[in-house]
């Protein structure tokens, strides 16, 4: 008989990763019996299918393969910094459209690299090449990355944001409180249009943030990186907040690295994310990390993206933004009408595709009456529907998973939720918000 052996030796990361994160677990439970036509997913951060330019992508692929002189060996391995065509296209896209107010003079001093698998892989790379320590971010935080950072052995310290983004006065206070532990700060990570809140980091705050990080670098006598995740910056559909300036504009000490993605305006499946910042040991280590992960992002999707950026992108961005702008308006009106009396705050809806709701009293945590009403697990047949054909379920991301569990917003987070208006169509979202109203009324009885 075989002896029962102890299991494989896992790394600390492996040990921390063998149980799924709370959001992944919740989503997997829903996915197990999700009914496409019936259940409504306001939880998932997927882009809207209608925004993905299928025909253009098909045309671009044909053009790329028909032009081997320009798009050399597009179906072969690529180089670790990224396709030279794509890097040039990103640069031209920035200059021609004055993205972030960046000029040729500034971009001449920066490098652009393409990640192996979207912006996510660049964020992952950052956690591999920077020394573990404290990561400062805003609260609520991008829970997917922050959860990963924790599993990688980093300590996340989140600073509450207001309608202009991370509060720099609170940040200064928290830095002071750290005392000697300031030496343990590894890097700053800020999402310029925050996920989950949709809150837009104002230009003034961005400048203050760069200033705080520069001062800290001087104090610690070493450069502290500021990673700005601009995943949603091409999706600003409220003209009043434009133009958004790049953090690189204020960066005298070469601390800022901006990470962008083409997932949101073209297609997530292309897996194209890029980073802009100064050459140096960090950037070179990131290029090596791309090589270690898989040599490069698939060259064919890099070249397709390059073609799209050179040819059709402005029309595409306008179309995508038009779609989300209209959806945001309709959903906001519906939230106000249906949920207004239950809410203390509602932010988002000006960029990206999230609203973030704070209820006055209603608990939104997993297992709360509100949650169970929407998951159809109250045990009351009138609410849940017949066992074999339950009424439509509505999925959202509970705020409890988005706030720093050691931070200032833990209690508030239990009354919050992220509602995505990206994936689902307006009619279904409005229906779901109506069901949320019933859930809030039901929860009021507890
Ligand atoms: C803040 C943020 N950063 C990065 C990403 C991922 O981008 P990519 O598809 O390029 O990996 C997302 C996707 O939802 C996001 O919300």
Question: Rounded to a whole number, what is the largest CA-CA distance in the chain?
Answer: 73
Report how far ligand 1's centroid is from the alpha carbon of 44 (Å): 12
Contact indicator for 215, 182 with CB cutoff of 8 Å: no
Nearest CA to ligand 1 atom 14: 45
55-311, what's its fold? 3.40.640
CATH classification code of 21-51+317-444: 3.90.1150.10
Closest ligand 1 atom to residue 263 Cα is 9
Report how far ligand 1's centroid is from the alpha carbon of 376 (Å): 30
Report how far ligand 1's centroid is from the alpha carbon of 9 (Å): 32
pLDDT digits (tens, 9 = 90+) for 107-164: 999 999 999 999 999 999 999 999 999 999 999 999 999 999 999 999 999 999 999 9
Residues with Cβ within 6 A of ligand 1? 45, 118-120, 142, 191, 195, 229, 231, 261, 263, 268, 273
Report how far ligand 1's centroid is from the alpha carbon of 56 (Å): 22
pLDDT at 445: 76
Q: What is the pTM of this model?
A: 0.97
Report how far ligand 1's centroid is from the alpha carbon of 268 (Å): 9
pLDDT digits (tens, 9 = 90+) for 232-285: 999 998 888 889 999 999 999 999 999 999 999 999 999 999 999 999 999 999
pLDDT at 238: 87
Query: Which of 27, 44, 193, 231 maximizes ligand 1 atoms within 8 Å of its Cβ, making it the mutation to test the pocket?
Result: 231
pLDDT at 2: 80
Cα dihedral sign, 231-233-238-240: positive
Total residues belonging to the chain:
446
Which residues, other chains included, contact 99 with Cβ-Cβ below 8 Å and sequence gap of 6+? 93, 233, 246
Nearest CA to ligand 1 atom 15: 231
pLDDT at 303: 98
pLDDT at 188: 98
Nearest CA to ligand 1 atom 12: 231
Report how far ligand 1's centroid is from the alpha carbon of 118 (Å): 8
- pLDDT < 70 positions in the chain: 1
Q: Spell out the domain ranges in the chain.
A: 21-51+317-444, 55-311
Whole-number Å distance between alpha carbons of 62 and 197: 39
């Amino acid at each position: 008989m075989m002896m029962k052996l102890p299991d494989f030796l896992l790394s600390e990361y492996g040990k921390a990763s063998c149980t799924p994160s709370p959001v992944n677990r919740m989503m997997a439970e829903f996915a197990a019996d999700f009914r496409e036509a019936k259940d409504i997913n306001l939880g998932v951060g997927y882009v809207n299918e209608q925004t993905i330019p299928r025909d253009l992508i098909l045309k671009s692929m044909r053009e790329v393969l028909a032009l081997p002189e320009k798009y050399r060996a597009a179906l072969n391995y690529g180089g670790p910094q990224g396709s030279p065509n794509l890097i040039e296209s990103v640069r031209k896209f920035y200059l021609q459209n004055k993205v972030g107010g960046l000029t040729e003079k500034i971009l001449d001093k920066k490098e652009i690299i393409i990640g192996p698998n979207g912006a996510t892989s660049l964020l992952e790379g950052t956690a591999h090449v920077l020394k573990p320590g404290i990561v400062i971010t805003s609260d609520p935080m991008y829970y997917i990355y922050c959860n990963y950072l924790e599993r990688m052995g980093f300590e996340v310290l989140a600073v509450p944001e207001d309608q202009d983004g991370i509060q720099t006065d609170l940040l200064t206070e928290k830095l002071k409180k750290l005392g000697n532990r300031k030496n343990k700060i590894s890097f700053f990570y800020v999402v310029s249009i925050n996920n989950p809140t949709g809150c837009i980091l104002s230009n003034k705050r961005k400048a203050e943030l760069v200033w705080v990080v520069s001062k800290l670098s001087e104090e610690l006598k070493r450069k502290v990186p500021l990673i700005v995740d601009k995943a949603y910056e091409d999706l600003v559909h409220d003209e009043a907040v434009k133009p958004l300036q790049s953090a690189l504009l204020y960066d005298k000490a070469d601390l800022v690295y901006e990470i962008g993605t083409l997932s949101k305006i073209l297609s997530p499946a292309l897996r194209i994310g890029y980073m802009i910042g100064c050459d140096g040991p960090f950037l070179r280590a990131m290029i090596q990390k791309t090589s270690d992960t898989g040599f490069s992002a698939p060259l064919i999707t890099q070249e397709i993206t390059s073609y799209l950026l050179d040819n059709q992108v402005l029309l595409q961005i306008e179309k995508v933004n038009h779609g989300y702008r209209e959806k945001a308006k309709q959903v906001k009106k519906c939230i106000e009408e249906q949920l207004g009396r239950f809410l203390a705050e509602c932010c988002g809806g000006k960029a990206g595709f999230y609203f973030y709701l704070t209820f006055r009293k209603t608990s939104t945590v997993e297992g709360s009456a509100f949650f169970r009403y929407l998951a159809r697990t109250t045990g009351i047949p009138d609410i849940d529907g017949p066992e074999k054909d339950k009424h439509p379920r509505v999925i959202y991301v509970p705020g409890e998973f988005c706030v720093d569990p050691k931070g200032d917003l833990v209690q508030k987070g239990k009354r919050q939720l992220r509602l995505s208006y990206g994936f689902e169509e307006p009619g279904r979202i409005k229906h779901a918000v109506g069901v949320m109203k019933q859930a809030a009324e039901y929860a009021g009885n507890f």
